[in-house]
Amino acid sequence: MISRRHLLGSAAAMSLAVQFSPVLAATPGREQILQTMRRATRFMVEDLATNGGYVWSYLPDRSRRWGEIEASPTMIWVQPPGTATMGHLYLDAYHATGDEYYYTAAEQVAGALMAGQHRSGGWNYFINFDSPAATKHWYETVGKNAWRMEEFQHYSDNATFDDMGTAEASQFLLRLFAEKRDARYRPALDKAISFVLDSQYPIGGWPQRWPYDPSYPDYQRFITFNDDVAAENVNFLLMIYQVLGDARVLDPIVRGMNLYLVTHQGAPQPGWALQYTPDLRPAGARTYEPNALHTGTTVSNVRKLMDFYRLTGETKFLARIPETLDWLETLRLAEPVRGRNYPTFIEFGTNRPIFVHRRGSNVVNGEYYWDYSPEATLGHYSGSQNFDLAALRQEFETLRATPAAELVASSPLAGSSPAPLPRYFVSGGHTGSDLNAGERDASIEQLIRSLNREGWWPTQLTATSNPYSGSGPADPVAGDYRTTHVGDVSDTSPYTTDQPVTGISTSAYIANMAHLIAALDPE
């Protein structure tokens, strides 16, 4: 996931929230950095973009391209690190350089997102500029046969909060509108705001997808913490209040924060599940996400409660954290699983770790199931986690000892007038589910030298997929697919390969540009 520099409500964020003033002081290599950034961006905008949008990776001849899964030539990806991420990066580059070319590039991204915005106001994982029939055909072929990619096995005429697609697109449109208050972007932004407000349950949570589509698996309507659905919606509403001062969002923000309290399970298992039914019963989601307590969600929600305390100064957000940390400590595995010390899923009632497995070779003959054995767990969905609970507990104790008034003074909820957003949003390269993304530590000199003649950074594409070749056989194909990312040759799921090819990576461009931007304006 992208590392952002806008932790709303923190003193650090407020110190970053200043109006743009380009800094053009001469620094060693500055002109080379500017030229490299411009050449790389010109390629992305003028040679690679599809109607202003992007997928995650491409072969150099564009004969194949991928988002989280293989895409057609008329598709762009919304899910990070896709089109909206590129828009954020262009605005970052605009702030660092003052060059209007980057602002124009961000406007093209906005055009692509607005063209693909669902009539409900949200977005799906991708936008297809071809016909609806072509989109349905993609779902019935490539999507349907991606064994582990269950969200792509069903076409649905609605929008999703999953994997931050709608949240990041909405945040980008807000940020672009705030830049120059250009009225062209307000209608799409207002639709996005309405989508978040209208889809919220009275208790405070949000479904994974909305509006409800009875043809899609039922978990779409469940209240969702998974993949930061609740957290990112609260963040977006906070940004709306910070920038626009729209009082409509205040009650939804409060209900969104209180959701974390009402879904906490309490003793003797004081944790959280990935999802909840509308009447607040814990629920499973995809077939490899059983109905169980989820340690990763629990740690993430503890962090969010601390953020909410920083925003409000209300001690109710801290009250249940000690017992939750104590419970998490009891779950440490006697024997690490794949080098990780905590199980991902915990059975209700027994406190026993449960582990998910699969059998078969493709979506036709395969199935997921769970038991208590840590042997041969899934390769694409970790059965165990690593947490630094000591550091988390120390952060909690430090926060509890800090006067609430000192924290709330820098909260966007305390502001009586609109405030600007941080100048920079993108500061990292490891994003989302992109198997080609990763941390890159090249020097500025290496980045300048490695940009090729065409204007892109050659990247080893360690992720690939089997081209669609029809539905798989009903009987399993010989082989052990229990821990792999992909099944037999009919499985269109992405997987890592030991024979990567050189290609074009959006995440590499984002990471390298963020590095160059930081060199121009190290803050």
Alpha helices in 313-472 (DSSP H): 321-329, 389-401, 404-408, 444-450
H or E stretch including 277?
A: none
Supply the pLDDT for residue 523: 67
Supply the pLDDT for residue 10: 30
Mean of all residue pLDDT scores within the chain: 92
Task: Over range 400-408, report the average pLDDT.
Answer: 94
- Nearest 5°: the CA angle 219, 255, 303 is 80
Q: How far is CA 518 from CA 227, 343, 468, 511, 521, in A?
A: 28, 37, 41, 11, 5
Supply the pLDDT for residue 4: 36
pLDDT band at residue 414 using 50, 70 and 90 as cut-offs: confident
3-class SS at 480?
A: coil
CA distance 473 to 414: 60
Q: Looking at this protein, which amino acid is placed at residue 114? A: M
> Residue 302 has which token pair?
């503890």
pLDDT band at residue 427 using 50, 70 and 90 as cut-offs: confident
CA distance 124 to 17: 30
Per cent of the chain over pLDDT 90 is: 88
Single out the residue of 255, 258, 252, 290 nearest to residue 274, CA to CA.
290
Q: What is the pLDDT of residues 27-63, one digit of tens each?
A: 448 999 999 999 999 999 999 999 999 999 999 999 9
**Phi, psi (rounded to 5 degrees) for 328:** -60, -40
Lowest-pLDDT range of 154-168, 434-448, 472-486, 502-516: 434-448
Alpha carbon dihedral 307, 308, 312, 318, in 10-degree steps, equals -100
CA distance 290 to 80: 25
Question: Does residue 432 have a pLDDT over 80?
Answer: no
CA distance 432 to 3: 10
pLDDT band at residue 511 using 50, 70 and 90 as cut-offs: very high
Supply the pLDDT for residue 206: 98
**Running DSSP on this structure, what letter comes out for residue 118?**
-
CA distance 296 to 300: 6
| Sequence ranges of the domains in the chain | 38-262+298-318+403-520
**Phi, psi (rounded to 5 degrees) for 364:** -75, -50
Task: Over range 295-312, report the average pLDDT.
Answer: 98
Task: Over range 433-446, report the average pLDDT.
Answer: 84
CA distance 64 to 59: 6
Question: Does residue 15 have a pLDDT over 50?
Answer: no
Judge whether 112 and 76 are in contact, CB under 8 Å.
yes
pLDDT band at residue 437 using 50, 70 and 90 as cut-offs: confident
Task: Over range 118-130, report the average pLDDT.
Answer: 98
Sequential DSSP letters for 183-239: GGGHHHHHHHHHHHHHH--TTS--BSEES--TTS-GGGGSEE-GGGHHHHHHHHHHH
Question: Does residue 302 have a pLDDT over 50?
Answer: yes
> Residue 209 has which token pair?
């997808």
pLDDT band at residue 429 using 50, 70 and 90 as cut-offs: low
CA distance 134 to 129: 9
Supply the pLDDT for residue 428: 63
According to DSSP, the residues that pair with 127 across neighbouring strands are: 76
Q: What is the pLDDT of residues 146-184, one digit of tens each?
A: 999 999 999 999 999 999 999 999 999 999 999 999 999
Question: Does residue 419 have a pLDDT over 90?
Answer: no
Supply the pLDDT for residue 28: 43
> Residue 438 has which token pair?
């990763």
CA distance 176 to 86: 12
CATH class (in words) of the domain with range 38-262+298-318+403-520: mainly alpha
Supply the pLDDT for residue 441: 77
CA distance 69 to 481: 19
Lowest-pLDDT range of 77-91, 308-322, 434-448: 434-448
Q: How many CB atoms lie within 10 A of CB 373?
A: 12
Q: How many residues does the chain have?
A: 523
pLDDT band at residue 436 using 50, 70 and 90 as cut-offs: confident
> Residue 451 has which token pair?
């940009």
